[in-house]
Chains A and B, each alone.
Chain A
Amino acid sequence: MTDQAAATTRRTALGVALGGLVTVAGCDAVSDLSPRGDTSPSTAGASPTLPPADADAELVDRVVRDLETTLQAVPQGRGLQDRVADLRDMHAAHRAALTGGRDLSFATSGTPLPRAEALRRITRLERAHQRRLEAATLEARSGSLALLLAQMSAAVAQRLALLPTAREGGA
């Protein structure tokens, strides 16, 4: 192990042991890899696999289109307004992160469906979106974009974990 690695090991361990104190080398590196830090020359220079500036542009466009399509297809269901609103806010935040946009609004119509059917459809749509985010994470040439896409995928996973099953929701 290098001296640097040895030093970071101790700091990283302490950071975890102290429970969320993000003073560790790894987490310092996270901020270096911040997707929204891509424009910084110093950050770009620190990237281990620096791609051409627009190498991932088509991928970003594809992901933005996918999340917009996904949300447009998310139905409304009785008692699901809060969950749908949370999904809408999440996708809007993700789109803003990808595009650098400031508009966090997301106009959706949301076809009303019976609750159980709406839950099944939401689950299917979000799982499919998550799988595409996973594929995009592996496809990204930029490490910082991969990091962002993986975080988006994890955010979807959290919401899927909290969705009641259609059986529960339809009871």
Chain B
Amino acid sequence: MSEVQALQTVLAAEHAAVYVLGVLGGQTSQSASPGLLTSISESYAMHRGRRDHLTRTLADLGAVPASSQAAYDVPSDVGTPEAVTREALALERSCATTYAFLVGSTTGDLRAWAMRALQMTAVRSLVFRGTPEMFPGEDEQADR
């Protein structure tokens, strides 16, 4: 897979992440769960920033950045803070896997950026009650 294709894959994932985090934020009460809403909002801003960076990078490389879908499938049971936290954790871990993939598919500055994104996403997962992993971003379904 070329670097551009890898970047397009990650951009598509970030489009979805931004969408899902928006939904999760909408399901979170500012009065009842202010800490969780802050965490969701911070994650939203981080993923939106990465989405925009990926879009610019692809354009700079002469590619047409992947556009977002009109809507994405989101879990239906996100009506409680626990469910929102669980889905946010799953999202961060899924994105970590995507960034690990990008590290392995790129070189130079792109690899450095993907490496930092992986680190930040791995640390971000701790905010949503994640626990430290031996290999953050590991594909849990891979046969390793």
Contacts and interface: CB of A to CB of B under 8 A. Distances in A.
A154 B136 contact: yes
Interface stretch (B27-35, B37-45, B92-100): B92-100
A61 interface: no
Interface in B89-144: 90-91, 93-98, 100-108, 111-112, 114-115, 118-119, 121-123, 125-126, 132-144
B74 interface: yes
B139 A9 contact: no
B46 interface: no
B114 to A, nearest CB: 7
Given A5-B9, A22-B140, A86 B93 contact: no
Band of interface residues on B:
35 or more
B91 A14 contact: no
B115 A153 contact: yes
Nearest to B133: A155
Given A13-B69, A27-B98, A151 B138 contact: yes
A138 interface: yes
A19 B2 contact: no
Given A19-B87, A30-B139, A34-B144, A13 B12 contact: yes
Nearest to A148: B135
Interface stretch (A107-115, A120-128, A139-147): A139-147
Contacts of B60: none
Interface stretch (A52-60, A63-71, A73-81, A90-98): A90-98
Nearest to A158: B132
Dominant SS among interface residues on chain A? helix
B80 interface: no
Contacts, number: 201
Dominant SS among interface residues on chain B? helix
B134 to A, nearest CB: 4
B134 A93 contact: yes
Interface of B: 1-2, 5-6, 8-10, 12-13, 15-17, 19-20, 63-64, 66, 68-69, 72-75, 86-87, 90-91, 93-98, 100-108, 111-112, 114-115, 118-119, 121-123, 125-126, 132-144
19 contacts: A4-B5, A8-B9, A13-B68, A15-B13, A16-B98, A22-B140, A30-B142, A33-B104, A86-B132, A143-B105, A146-B103, A147-B103, A153-B115, A153-B119, A154-B118, A154-B123, A157-B122, A158-B125, A162-B132
Interface of A: 1-2, 4-6, 8-10, 12-27, 29-31, 33-34, 36-37, 48-49, 86, 89-90, 93-94, 97, 134, 137-138, 143-144, 146-148, 150-155, 157-159, 161-162
